[in-house]
Amino acid sequence: MTEATCHVHTPYGDVIGHRDGTVVAWKGIPYAASTGGEHRFKAPRPVEPWSEPKDCVKFGPVAPQGLDNPVPMDPDTPMSEDCLSVNVWAPEPDGTPRPVMVWIHGGAYSLGSSAQTVYDGRHLAELGDLVIVTVNYRIGAFGFLDLSSFSTEQTEFDANVGLRDMIAALRWVQESIGAFGGDASNVTLFGESSGGASVTTLMTSPATEGLFHRAIVQSAPATSVYGQDRAAQVAARFLEIVDVTPDRIDELKTIDMHRLVAASDTLCYDVPARVPGTLGLAPVVDGEIVPRYPVAAFQKGFAHRIPLIIGTNHDEASIFRLMKSPLMPVTSDTVSEMFRAIANDHSDLPAFRVAEIMSAYPDRSKTAGALAMSRDAGFKMPSLWIADAHSRHSPVWMYRFDHATPMLRAARIGAGHATEIPYVFGNFGTLNRDPTFWLGGRKAAMAVSARVMKRWVAFARHGVPATLDGAKHWPKYAEPTRATLVIDGQDTVVDDPDGDLRVAWGDRVLGFS
């Protein structure tokens, strides 16, 4: 080992890490084999061991996806179906086992990469003296299109291969993280948006028993998991888009990757445009990896009994209005259409229940009311349903992230979806011409970030988001008080915030399962 590098021996071969501040970073470590050709739409396969040390100085390839999207990507990072890799940041291994945090990125199951600068794990690893792992997994049609209804004797397809990738990465952590100084018996799985919903889904999967021991869920659309009939309809639509008939299904293994990416992008936006409030590509209840609808599984006590932090942002839907994205309904018309679809799909749902919920938003005909309804349907209520159910047998801490810089408030984004991520990782200024601090607010944001990072780290280390010196104590969440940490310039604890809306919605997983 030289002063700038660190060699580590894993079960699959040696990897060379490089000094990054006071920690070492290993980027682009493969945890499974290539997913191209014959292995498209199939469960991940073990990676082939390598004999020569692998220099892990660069991120692995980005999972196939369209590049015309709002996610900032390094143009020098290639795109490939050989994309199943992890990145590790850790203090130089010294024989001391350290807690491990494994990050699942978001992006509506169709966008994003562990190589995004905002997910750089250096600051968390340095602050917490722990090991950070970020995971690349298949997204879009490559990861969340369920073609199993079109399987033949010659061509078989697996469901939920994106989730299967995450499980393979968690197994890699169990096998390999000790070499990086990580404690495989103390793993916290955390994620945001579809990454957060992946965490809640994996918490209900028998396949992940014992693979992680705590969970942090940020802004999860946890009810965006669908049944097999709906999955078959989406798959049929995909075949129409890519112009492949069911009798030629095996051609999917040889079609150019970029043609599939284009079809995936079309499907990703086509489905929510047709049925507001739904995602085109998402996990499926397959009876194996996902045996039940996750929120219902929580309510029936089937989730892994581990400590959980879960929460949402105050203004989740604002960013979708700004981007004019169909991924969330953000107008009065599309929100009303979402509720009509819910009523039509559930004949056992009394019309007065839908009316009660809608009446809880007196300004629903205005933008602010529509955004609030969309936020609550997509993020707030699923998180509350999970917190209520899980707190009946396991420790839960609920938060609401309210902090916004003056510029984000002026832009009417506020504490929008994903705006908490820089505070969690301590990484600001990762967007091109980042406007976050154009009107000031950096000092206050840094103070908020320091508290968030310390709470997340304490939870990963001890299973409790320990009280900080001079900071507000964060009590456990439990019925009926439902204590919630409101994260802002000064943190506060509020019992059952927006309780009137919670009561209006009730505890039924309305329309999403």
Of 194, 117, 114, 109, nearest to 144 by C-alpha is: 109
**Is 113 marked active-site?**
no
214: which 2 tokens?
């705590």
**Is 148 marked active-site?**
no
- Let me know: does 495 contact 481? Beta carbons within 8 Å: yes
CA atoms within 13 A on the CB side of 216: 26
> Alpha-carbon distance 75 to 432, whole Å?
13
Phi, psi of 25 (to 5 degrees): -120, 130
Residue 430 CB partners (closer than 8 Å, separation 6+): 72, 116, 117, 118, 422
242: which 2 tokens?
């890519």
- Let me know: does 137 contact 274? Beta carbons within 8 Å: no
SS3 call for 62: strand
> Alpha-carbon distance 67 to 12, whole Å?
32
Catalytic residue, chosen from 193, 198, 318, 449, is 193
**Is 417 marked active-site?**
yes
- Let me know: does 83 contact 60? Beta carbons within 8 Å: yes
- Let me know: does 126 contact 160? Beta carbons within 8 Å: no
Catalytic residue, chosen from 81, 417, 420, 449, is 417
Catalytic residue, chosen from 123, 316, 374, 420, is 316
> Alpha-carbon distance 273 to 147, whole Å?
22
3-state SS track over 35-102: CCHHHCCCCCCCCCCCCCCEECCCCCCECCCCCCCCCCCCCCCCECCCCCEEEEEECCCCCCCEEEEE
As annotated, the active-site residues are: 193, 316, 417
